Amino acid sequence: MDTGAAPSGRESSRALPPIAVLVLGLLAERPMHCYEMFQTAMCRREDRLAKLRAGTLYHQVDRLAEKGHVEVAEVRREGNRPERTIYAITAQGRAALNASLELILRRHPQEYPELYLALSEAHGLPRTRVIELLGERIALMRADLLEYETAVDAVRAQGKPEMFYLDAGCRIITLRTQIDWLDDLVVRLTTSELVWLDDPGFLCSSAAPKDARADTTVLTTVPRPDPTSDVERKANPQ
């Protein structure tokens, strides 16, 4: 039964798993069976938003049903095909979806992209190898960018409102910015404008500090703002 209850305090303090958000988002459009959800998500390339597999999606639907976020709307049989269970989102599911979206949009959590990790340690590799590897990465990024730009041009030509593909716009800008920065990095490495650990005489030169990484400490010690405490201060002014 759909009680329309809102998520509990504990549940609303953290976002639902990405697959759960995708499932509830699909069912917020219309009731669907699991295979239709999977096919629709794949057609929209939503597998780029989360690791999406048919078995994972089916399992997530079961979990959402256990929590009361979705419910069985009907069981349908067409011809000789097996029965298909049609699911619909509940009022509780809509509340959980909205709470997750609000939390994700508002917060800015610490993330750990592999690219940043590799860049922080890239000086340990030969300059020429880094240039080669970055060239390969940039080529892949350009192909990814072209695919997104083509897809956005296609849906725009169909007259679809931009609100339905905001994620693609954000990805395009992010990719363009990263490609530009990496292109510049490759140029500076190629021209030796950027000093490197394997440069002849680098470790003996005045350009090399006693602790080559000492000056980067400030980058890891800047305190992160606490949005929760900021909200509390605004809600309870002194």
Judge whether 16 and 63 are in contact, CB under 8 Å. no
What is the predicted pLDDT for the residue at 78?
A: 76
According to the CATH classification, is domain 9-106 in 1.10.10.10? yes
> pLDDT tens, 35-78?
999 999 999 889 889 989 999 999 999 999 999 999 999 998 77
Task: Give the residue extent of every domain in the chain.
Answer: 9-106, 114-222
- How is residue 128 written in tokens? 């020429």
> pLDDT tens, 83-135?
899 999 999 999 999 999 999 999 998 889 999 999 999 999 999 999 999 99
What is the predicted pLDDT for the residue at 234?
A: 46
What is the predicted pLDDT for the residue at 2?
A: 47
> pLDDT tens, 187-228?
999 999 999 999 988 776 655 555 555 555 555 555 555 555
pLDDT band at 8 (very low <50, low <70, confident <90, very high): low
Amino acid at 228: T
Strand-strand pairing, 70-76 and 32-33: unpaired
pLDDT band at 79 (very low <50, low <70, confident <90, very high): confident
- More confident call, 118 vs 5: 118
Distance between terminal CA atoms of the chain?
45
pLDDT band at 11 (very low <50, low <70, confident <90, very high): low
